[in-house]
A and B are shown apart, each in its own frame.
Chain A
């Protein structure tokens, strides 16, 4: 079974500053993937970034980067140059399992509410 832990219920950041949202995971699978999703107050889930367990480089997507430390089982999200529109709930999630048996079946963390101050 997989488990995702997000230990920060809420985070505050000043506009234009960088912020790191923590995520640790637990799995016995060798092959797995890690995701970050953003959920604004409207409720929809927006995909931000993905890191595969065999990817050697940290994933980046625009202002988002994923700090993947496999030995420590952590997959922190770094948002650079925060904007007011970044205020939302952020979820870390993972799938795991060889042979595609877990494709799409994501395990989610509890989420972190990010508030960006002007």
Chain B
């Protein structure tokens, strides 16, 4: 079955540590995205990538980094510079021809201890 796989589902980290969230898709989509969701809030865009080896900052990119070395993969690193990293992170992809419809993974919940 085609879809988006995020791992891990739950992650705990100590303050000052970097952590990387994995996102893999087998939908052959060109574009991939990372969103952050805080409790009771909507989603906010962190980074997005429209093609391999290219990515752009979203609305809240500070303290995060990404890479796009393969079409299928778009990992997100939450660095120690991110002041409030505890949140639910959602990865998504879209076929660029389909204006905006996103397919989401099941999310990764990061808690900083």
B83-113 CB mask vs A (1 if < 8 Å, else 0) is 0000010101010100111111111010000
A43 touching B42 in the complex, CB below 8 Å, given contacts A50-B101, A103-B96, A104-B33: no
A44 touching B58 in the complex, CB below 8 Å, given contacts A100-B96, A106-B43: no
B42 to A44, Cβ gap below 8 A? no
In Å, the complex CA distance between A46 and B4 comes to: 12
Contacts of B104 in A (CB 8 A): 37, 44-46
Q: Kindly provide the distance from the CB of B113 to the nearest chain A CB, expressed in whole angstroms.
A: 21
In Å, the complex CA distance between A31 and B104 comes to: 24
How many B residues are at the interface, by size bracket? 20 to 34
| 8 Å CB contact of B43 from A52, A100, A103, A108 | A108
A106 to B41, Cβ gap below 8 A? no
A33 touching B99 in the complex, CB below 8 Å, given contacts A44-B106, A105-B45: yes
B23-36 CB mask vs A (1 if < 8 Å, else 0) is 00000000101000
Please give the residue numbers on chain B whose beta carbons come within 8 Å of chain A beta carbons, in ascending order: 31, 33, 40-45, 48, 50, 58, 88, 90, 92, 94, 96, 99-107, 109
Contacts of A50 in B (CB 8 A): 100-101
3 cross-chain pairs, A with B, having the tightest CB-CB distances, nearest first = A108-B42, A95-B100, A45-B104
Q: Could you count the A-B residue pairs with CB atoms below 8 Å apart for me: how many are there?
A: 71
Instruction: Give 9 CB contacts A-B under 8 Å.
Output: A44-B105, A44-B106, A45-B102, A46-B104, A103-B100, A104-B31, A104-B94, A110-B42, A111-B42
Please give the residue numbers on chain A whose beta carbons come within 8 Å of chain B beta carbons, in ascending order: 4, 33, 35, 37, 42-47, 50, 52, 91, 93, 95, 100, 102-106, 108-111
Contacts of A45 in B (CB 8 A): 43, 90, 92, 102, 104
Contacts of B94 in A (CB 8 A): 103-104
B102 to A106, Cβ gap below 8 A? yes
Contacts of A106 in B (CB 8 A): 43, 45, 100, 102
B42 to A109, Cβ gap below 8 A? yes
Contacts of B105 in A (CB 8 A): 44
Q: Kindly provide the distance from the CB of B83 to the nearest chain A CB, expressed in whole angstroms.
A: 22
A33 to B40, Cβ gap below 8 A? no
